[in-house]
Amino acid sequence: MDARRSLFVRAEEIALPECEGWYYDQQTGEIRTLRGNFFRIVGTKGTLCSGDSFETPLVIQDEIGVLGLLARKIDGALHFLMQAKVEPGNEPTVQLSPTAQATYSNYTRSHGGSAPPFAEYFLEERGRVIVDSLKYEQCSRYIAKRNRNIIMTTDEDIPETDTHFYVTPGKIARLMPTGAVMMDTRTLLAMFPFREQGSSGELETRLDDYIRSHPFERRLCRLDELDGWGFDGSGFSSDGAPFGIVFRQVEIAGSEVRHWCQPLLSGIGGVYGSYVRDNGGETEFLCRIVSEPGCPSGALIGPAVFCEKGLPCDRFGREFSDALERRDNVVFDMTLSEEGGRFWREKNRYALVRYRSGQIPDDAFWVSDGELAAAIAQSNVCDIQLRSLYGLYHLMNREESP
């Protein structure tokens, strides 16, 4: 991570009226750009599949970005071409990101800056495609936002640059607890074929049946119609909500655009975790169906424990947190940063615990490793938190010489 020496970010707290290019639209009641590009922040109200009501701002970003990871063998060992990247909300400042990380506005250069490096490899598929799938982002923050996740292998001898260099899976695993690995890297690695895939058909059927039998309703509204939410001196927030909206004036050296202003989602963190067990030689993960305001059809399959601060956490989640504090059969337990392009220094706790015994919730179910591998790589049934946990498990348990 020598790139830390040459990359820097400065993000100054400002109020919305000072956020050049952005404004609160009095007609529509949303935060948006003057040009109507990038993304907009709207109010939403509705009822989750659980029957709980919600009122929250959410981001609408219709454009589909590209997250690309390039892999090759060097001296017989697997390496990924990683990028040392700075985002305004990153903590730490420089993180290992995928080879290419670009929104539609980035790779079409609508922001007026230079093209993101190596994006053309994925847009033109200049390699052997291992995985190419549209995946949903955080459904507690976005309305059905998707990115194109691509992993390719190549025999091309692509030289390293000041910001791009080759890293083995083992090195990524050793860096993971430090927070130096970006969220997008974690979720892309969840799709890498570290193991043979099974079939995701039963999981897809389970989710479809649940959605049909559990009504979900979401409607857009003005931000000023959200009960308890309002503008203060520098942001849009609500007491007790899991996140708010802040505004920053940004300067980043080495970015496609050096100066800009933007809103960021400032969260207070949560706990995403699950149990893992061995069942006759097959690894299994405990999952539940999770309903969030931004889910495309109301729900996705997620980890057994899904606790966001500011929202109620059930008894099972509290018992899981107690197990972590006791260090009881913990497989891993890490507090990791979320993606800093839209989130302001948000960190969440990701953990897996080895299941020994005890009661599990009636709505929880065990999913085999192969079945989960197929669901994550091939379909849109798993949420981003479950994908992160699955990728972390295989990365941290991968046997590799230093």
Same domain, 75 and 92: yes
Q: How confident is the model at residue 402 (pLDDT cuts 50, 70, 90)?
A: very low
One-letter amino acid identity for 290?
V
Please report whether residue 386 resides in a domain.
Answer: yes
Same domain, 211 and 317: yes
Please report whether residue 75 resides in a domain.
Answer: yes
Place of tokens 């991968």: 398
The whole-number pLDDT of residue 9 equals: 80
The count of other CB atoms within 10 Å of the CB of residue 254 is 16
CA distances from 34 to 24, 105, 343 (A): 10, 15, 21
Please report whether residue 357 resides in a domain.
Answer: yes
Is the pLDDT reported for residue 401 higher than 50?
Answer: no
Same domain, 142 and 159: yes
The whole-number pLDDT of residue 95 equals: 94
DSSP string, 42-83: EEEEEE-TTS-EEEEEEEE--S-EEEEEEEEEETTEEEEEEE
Same domain, 22 and 153: no
Same domain, 20 and 97: no
Same domain, 211 and 313: yes
Rounded-to-integer distance, Cα 85 and Cα 93, Å: 8
* 224-245 confidence digits (pLDDT tens): 999 999 998 789 999 989 999 9
Please report whether residue 191 resides in a domain.
Answer: no
**Bridge partners, residue 347, by sequence:** 337
The whole-number pLDDT of residue 189 equals: 95
Same domain, 164 and 89: yes
Please report whether residue 301 resides in a domain.
Answer: yes
Among 368, 392, 216, 387, residue whose Cα is nearest residue 292: 216
Rounded-to-integer distance, Cα 305 and Cα 370, Å: 21
Rounded-to-integer distance, Cα 366 and Cα 396, Å: 21
Is the pLDDT reported for residue 193 higher than 50?
Answer: yes
Q: Report the CATH number that the domain containing residue 302 is assigned in CATH.
A: 3.90.79.40
CA distances from 369 to 34, 197, 277, 303, 336 (A): 47, 8, 10, 13, 23
* 303-324 confidence digits (pLDDT tens): 999 998 777 788 999 999 999 9
Please report whether residue 183 resides in a domain.
Answer: no
Please report whether residue 223 resides in a domain.
Answer: yes
Q: What is the dihedral of CA 170, 118, 160, 150, to 10 degrees?
A: 20
Compute the average pLDDT of residues 115-140: 92
Place of tokens 């009641």: 29
Same domain, 212 and 319: yes
CA distances from 66 to 45, 75, 86, 89, 104 (A): 30, 29, 17, 19, 8
Chain Cα centroid distance, residue 173: 18
Place of tokens 């969030």: 292
Please report whether residue 157 resides in a domain.
Answer: yes
Strand duo 65-74 + 146-153: pairing: parallel
Same domain, 105 and 149: yes
* 161-188 confidence digits (pLDDT tens): 999 999 999 999 999 999 999 999 999 9
92: containing domain: 65-177
Please tell me the least confidently modeled range out of 34-43, 253-262, 347-356: 253-262
Same domain, 249 and 274: no
Same domain, 75 and 166: yes
Same domain, 303 and 234: no
One-letter amino acid identity for 107?
Y
The whole-number pLDDT of residue 140 equals: 95
Among 345, 43, 29, 17, residue whose Cα is nearest residue 183: 345
The angle subtended at Cα 245 by Cα 244 and Cα 247, nearest 5°, is 145
Is the pLDDT reported for residue 110 higher than 70?
Answer: no
Domain count, the chain: 3
